[in-house]
Amino acid sequence: MKAIVYNKKSSPDKLVYCDIDKPVPNDNEVLIKVHAVSLNAADYRSMKMGLIPKRKIFGADIAGQIESVGKNITLFRPGDEVMGDLASYGFGGLAEYVTAPERLLIRKPGQITFEKAATLPMAAMTALQALRDKADIQKGQKVLIVGSAGGVGTFAIQLAKYFKAEVTGVCSSKNVQQTFSLGADYVFDYTKEGFAKRDKRYNIILGINGNYPLSAYKKTLTSNGTYVMVGGSLSQVFKSLLFGWIFSFGSRKMKSLAARANKTDLELLVKLAEEGIIKPVIDRSYPLDKTSDAMNYLKQGHSTGKVVINIELN
């Protein structure tokens, strides 16, 4: 089969399109013919930090069709269309086939395309768990989404509106209209003004992109507000992890989130997508052999929505 394999000696790109053996599922796995994979910051950040999957194949968010099943599989059979997040199982999605345990998969509804299904697992899950679990979002609260144009941000806008909050997005000029179209009530164009310079306060701030000081976030919170770091530059992430607890003294809380794959949450997100309450935003689709180009584009931090590898384009 064709796959994208990490090779640290390859130059200029470390992601090599090549032929490798097709995997064989064990008794507790299914074999999936992959149709689409969405890329995430987790892919290129793991690469940058030297956290390479055992199989040397990245790609967590997959959607595809089951080709065969191990003898202990009870939930699925060949032909079923499935989707899931394989980050906790060693990634492996950037290939024509991948094996996975059934506990990480749910059925893909027929009316949702493979491409759109592949956008949901990690990005939408991150937005949901940040807003609902970490920040305890409530109706009528004011939510600031810093980095509202990317994969997590586009889902966060829609989910915050689903929870009946007032939403303000922070993005560049080119993404202002998209942020409004997804339901934001207000938008800051960070190329023209900083959100921290205004007197407005927010119950919840999601830090998804950018490199703002923690002090700027804290002073922009209401007296009992919550900041949740879910992304940003690596320096931003490390600062939040190292110093967030210091800034959390008092009633304002500074938290961080590492989203966890959860079938119940993913089924809720799929239901919301089926009902049109959330709509995946796909910036670009690439064929498998152009994965390196796709990853380089995503690394720049200016994607407007999700970047998807459509294996059927090859």
Domain definitions of the chain by residue range: 2-108+281-313, 123-256
On whether the 2-108+281-313 domain is CATH 3.90.180.10, my answer is yes
Mean pLDDT by 10 residues, the chain (314 residues): 94 91 97 98 89 95 98 97 96 98 97 97 96 97 96 97 98 96 96 82 92 85 93 56 52 81 95 97 97 94 93 81
Q: Residue 141: phi, psi to the nearest 5?
A: -70, 160
Cis peptide leading into residue 53 (ω within 30°): no
**Residue 288 gets which letter from DSSP?**
G
Structure tokens at 169: 């997005």
Instruction: Pick the closest to residue 279 from 168, 138, 145, 178 (CA basis).
Output: 178
Let me know: does 257 contact 237? Beta carbons within 8 Å.
Answer: no
First to last CA, the chain: 12
Residue 246: what pLDDT?
A: 52
Residue 271: what pLDDT?
A: 97
Residue 159: what pLDDT?
A: 98
Amino acid letter at 235? S
pTM of the model: 0.93
Residue with tokens 């007197």: 199
| Dihedral of alpha carbons 195, 196, 197, 202, sign | positive
On whether the 123-256 domain is CATH 1.10.760.10, my answer is no
Amino acid letter at 86? L
Residue 312: what pLDDT?
A: 84
Cα 32 from Cα 127, distance rounded (Å): 27
Residue 232: what pLDDT?
A: 55
Residue 314: what pLDDT?
A: 65
Report the residue count for the chain: 314
Cα 260 from Cα 180, distance rounded (Å): 29
Residue 203: what pLDDT?
A: 98
Q: Are domains 2-108+281-313 and 123-256 of this chain identical in fold?
A: no
Residue 235: what pLDDT?
A: 55
